[in-house]
Amino acid sequence: MTTDIKIKKLGIGCDHLGLDMKNAIRDHLTAQGVEVVDIGVNDADPVDYPDIGASLARRLADKEFERGILVCGTGAGMAIAANKVSGIRAVCVTDPYTAERAVASNDAQIITFGSRITGSSVALMLADIYLRNEFQGGGSAQKVDKLKALDD
């Protein structure tokens, strides 16, 4: 694994269940010099995760930021919502190997976390792993090209 964060600008968002974890990741990455665009939410009022997930994914597809992180209760709903946006590949991450391969193999621009699944300290570590790795190309390029061909 390489040691430097590979991006300058990241978008982050959450639903009401992901608020505390989203804020912790935002502050952790800001402290490392990443420009973090926080699209909310910023209070505990219930919201529908597809609204936040799709909004962040659309803004990333428009190149407002290089990568994104989304947090909900399980990470599943946010991943489903983000993957509905053409051109976006989002992976729900719970372990270090998937954090690395999500970008190295899958070229995922977004990872998602479940605040009810993963502890905040673990999520910070997984975010670092994801952001310190890059797409490896090579044999993975043909497979990612086939994913791109599935986009609308």
Please identify every residue annotated as catalytic. Answer: 72
Report the residue number, 94 or 136, with the smaller CB distance to ligand RB5. Answer: 94
Among residues 101, 98, 88, the alpha carbon closest in space to that of 148 is found at 88
| Residue number, 109 or 112, with CB nearest to ligand RB5 | 112
With CB atoms as reference, the residue minimizing the distance to ligand RB5 is 77
Minimum CB separation from ligand RB5 for residue 134, in Å? 28
C-alpha distances (whole Å) from 47 to each of 53, 66, 72, 125 are: 11, 25, 10, 27
For the CA atoms of 64, 65, 69, 70, what is the dihedral angle to 10 degrees? 0
Residue ranges binding ligand RB5 (CB under 6 A): 15, 17, 49, 72-74, 76-77
Whose Cβ is closer to ligand RB5: residue 5's or residue 108's?
Answer: 108
Give the nearest distance from C-beta 111 to ligand RB5 in angstroms. Answer: 14
Residue 113 CB, nearest approach to ligand RB5 (Å)? 10
